[in-house]
Amino acid sequence: MATLVLQAAGAAVGSLFGPIGTVIGRAIGGLAGYAVDQAVLADHGVREGARLADLTVQGSTEGAAIPRVYGRVRIAGQIIWATNFEEVVSESREGGKGGLGGGTTVRTYSYFANFAIGLSEGPIARIGRVWADGKPFDLAGTTHRIYVGSADQLTDSLIEAKQGDAPAYRDTAIIVFERLALEDFGNRIPQLSFEVTRPVAGVEQKIAAVNIIPAATEFGYDPAPVMKVVGPGNQTALNRHVDGADSDWQAALDDLQAIVPNAGRVGLAVAWFGDDLAAGSCTLKPAVVDRATVTKPDAWQVAGLTRATARLVSTYDGKPAFGGSPSDGSVIRAIRDLADRGLKVMFHPFIMMDIAAGNGLGDPYGGAEQAAYPWRGSLTLSLAPGRPGSPDQSAAAADEIAAFVGTAAPGDFSLSGDTVHYSGPDEWSLRRMVLHCAWLCKAAGGVDAFLVGSELRGLTTVRSSASDYPFVSALAALAGDVRAVLGSGTSISYAADWSE
């Protein structure tokens, strides 16, 4: 009604200014009238969204057998406890004009479920992948608790809070979900299945120590998530390729401790890269797989080098032949996480030889060029012992060994927070690599054991005279300098190849 009245009034006023004024006045009056009509006559009711008529949870099969798992199995389990669905109401307004009121209240409903699923006879080692309605389901985004089915496990806190006296389901592996959002599953509990692992035959319980590899991984050792920036406002996880944990490291260490519970010691290998089998010409440097990657929250940094200044690993079939060196920050966080887990750490500075095919380098062993991607044990003199003209058993051999070992000293390094600084000779030598790693361990709070090298049989057998082995002497001196950095509580050694 107001629309018609104000249209007529507006036209009358506008007619004072001619035909065009009449048209404009009618339009303005119509808009004003519409606003009034909406404020006075519009529907002020409530529009209800989809709502469940019944909040009770469907039961599971009574008397179902409890599975016994051997190895790794995908099973669905049975719902053994649940509360009625929790309903959460949200309201919003639709329609209406500015401050004139009007519009409709829209009421929507969200549903959450509390329930427990019995999986199998316990104890199990872990739950791996999970599927909901046949699709991969990430447990990391849910509030859940896993009970492995031990003989002394306690009652879940939520079940106890809801039920009072409640069973602990001892000897049965269960998973409890708290306030699982059901919107993505059509407001129902989805059909869940779980990858359950249970070690058999007692072999895993006998394993006391493991080595952590691959040694060459820029952020694979980082317990914290690292994101790769792929565009403005667009990031992707760089070190998370599994569900159920914040990073690949966390998932791997969780697996280790679940499946090999008596492994109290780990060896952490961290790689730098050599570029020549002739020790006197070889440099050892950190490396990256590319120059362009941008990471958050931390950028790659090792020994003062950045992604722009580090060595670039070679390529094989158009792809990096190795992963890059672990970023210093990720190494420190890895050592601390291992210690927090109650594991003893042996740190292993690891040499990888990044020598691609077609290198054109003179081969100490007499080939047309150096072999592609050789073993670090092949590091030797400019001409290997036994080759015609080899400097073995001469002072020249000691000089080549000295060039490879270098002169960096413990006092050339310092700590600023978790950053290791270097102010010594401009060299990328064995001593700089090993002492930098020792200072990283110091920054992390120390380690239980430290290796000054491994499997360098082509160097430990070199002689500067009939009975002097200069590289062995250099390793002994280096071990003493590492002791000065890490203290008497750290075991220090060299890991020999079986043939040394």
* CA 162 to the chain's CA centroid: 36
Question: Which 3 state secondary structure label does DSSP give 129?
Answer: strand
pLDDT at 285: 98
Q: What's residue 64's pLDDT?
A: 79
Least confident range of 27-36, 190-199, 342-351: 27-36
Residue 128's pLDDT band (cuts 50, 70, 90): confident
Going by the DSSP 8-state scheme, the letter that residue 392 receives in this structure is T
Q: Which tokens go with 140?
A: 């990391």
Q: Is 45 helix (H, G, I), strand (E, B) or coil?
A: coil
Whether residue 218 sits in one domain with residue 181: no
404-397-474 Cα angle (round to 5): 50
Please tell me whether residues 149 and 222 are part of one structural domain. Answer: no
Q: How confident is the model at residue 108 (pLDDT cuts 50, 70, 90)?
A: confident
In a domain, 247, yes or no: yes
Tell whether 232 and 171 lie within a shared domain. no
| Same domain for 262 and 133 | no
Give the tens place of pLDDT for each residue, 321-361.
Answer: 999 999 999 999 999 999 999 999 999 999 999 999 999 99
- From 156, 181, 200, the end of a domain falls on 200
CA–CA gap between residue 125 and residue 89 (Å, rounded) = 40
Predicted confidence (pLDDT) at residue 212 exceeds the cutoff of 70: yes
Asked whether residue 190 falls in the same domain as residue 335, the answer is no
Q: Is the per-residue pLDDT at 47 higher than 60?
A: no
Domains in the chain, number: 3
117 and 160 share one domain: yes
Domain range for residue 190?
71-200
Query: In this structure, is residue 365 part of a structural domain?
Result: yes
pLDDT at 32 over 50: yes
Residue 28 has pLDDT above 90, yes or no: no
The answer to whether 145 and 179 have CB atoms below 8 angstroms apart is: no
CB 11 within 8 A of CB 29: yes
What is residue 158's three-state secondary structure? helix
- 425 within a domain of the structure (yes/no): yes
Q: Which residue, of 160, 178, 200, is where some domain finishes?
A: 200
The pLDDT of residue 71: 82
Mean local confidence (pLDDT), 192-200: 87
pLDDT for position 90: 80
User: Three-state DSSP class for 435?
Assistant: helix
- Indicate the helix (H) or strand (E) that contains 230: strand 227-231
Q: What percent of the chain has pLDDT over 70?
A: 85
Same domain, 180 and 247: no
Which pair of structure tokens corresponds to residue 447?
């380690």
DSSP 51: -
Q: How confident is the model at residue 24 (pLDDT cuts 50, 70, 90)?
A: low
324, 217 contact by CB (below 8 A) = yes
Note the pLDDT of residue 16.
57
Helix, strand, coil percentages, rounded to 5, for the chain: 30, 30, 45
Tens of pLDDT, residue by residue over 368-396, are 999 999 999 999 999 999 999 999 999 99
pLDDT at res. 393: 96
Scanning the structure block, which residue is given the tokens 């110091």?
Answer: 442
Cα 356 to Cα 163, 216, 360: the distances in Å are 66, 16, 9
Query: Which of 231-240, 260-269, 441-450, 488-497 shows the lowest mean pLDDT across its residues?
Result: 231-240
* Model-wide pTM > 0.85: no
Query: Could you tell me how far CA 339 lies from the centroid of its own chain?
Result: 18
Most confident of 39-48, 89-98, 204-213, 472-481: 472-481
Of 150, 182, 200, at which residue does a domain stop? 200
Which among 271, 376, 283 has a CA at the least distance from the CA of 327? 271
- Quote the pLDDT of residue 200: 74
Q: What is the pLDDT of residue 355?
A: 97
How far, CA to CA in Å, does 180 sit from each of 83, 140, 183, 184, 194? 12, 12, 9, 10, 16
Residue 500 inside a domain? The answer is no
User: In terms of domains, do 196 and 214 share one?
Assistant: no
Predicted confidence (pLDDT) per residue in 135-164, tens digit: 999 888 899 999 999 999 999 999 999 888
- In one-letter notation, the amino acid at residue 140 is A
Is 361 in the same domain as 340?
Answer: yes
Q: For residues 142 and 62, give the distance between their C-alpha atoms in angstroms, rounded to a whole number.
A: 27
181 & 283 share domain: no
Same domain flag for 191 and 226 = no
pLDDT (tens digit per residue) in 400-436: 999 999 999 999 999 999 999 999 999 999 999 999 9
Residue 348 CA to residue 335 CA, distance in Å, equals 12
Whether residue 49 is predicted with pLDDT greater than 50 in this model: the reply is no
Please report where in the chains the tokens 């929250």 appear, as a residue: 297
Query: In angstroms, rounded to a whole number, what is the distance separating the alpha carbons of residues 118 and 453?
Result: 49
Q: Virtual CA dihedral for 373, 379, 385, 388, nearest 10 degrees?
A: 50
Amino acid, res. 428: W
| 418 within a domain of the structure (yes/no) | yes
Q: Do residues 296 and 395 share a domain? A: yes
DSSP string covering 96-117: --GGG---EEEEEEEEEEEEEE
Inside any domain, residue 58: no
Q: What is the mean pLDDT of the chain?
A: 88
State the average pLDDT over residues 294-298.
94
Q: What is the pLDDT of residue 164?
A: 87
Instruction: Tell me, yes or no, whether 52 lies in a domain.
Output: no
79 φ, ψ (degrees, to nearest 5)? -70, 120
The more confidently predicted of residues 180 and 18 is: 180
Separation of alpha carbons 36 and 6, rounded Å: 10
**Residue 286 covered by a domain:** yes
Q: What does each C-alpha distance from 3 to 9, 39, 42, 105, 154 come to in angstroms?
A: 10, 12, 13, 25, 71
217-244 per-position pLDDT tens digit: 999 999 999 999 988 888 899 999 887 7
The residue among 65, 89, 83 whose CA lies nearest residue 177 is 83
The three-point CA angle 325-215-340 to 5° equals 105
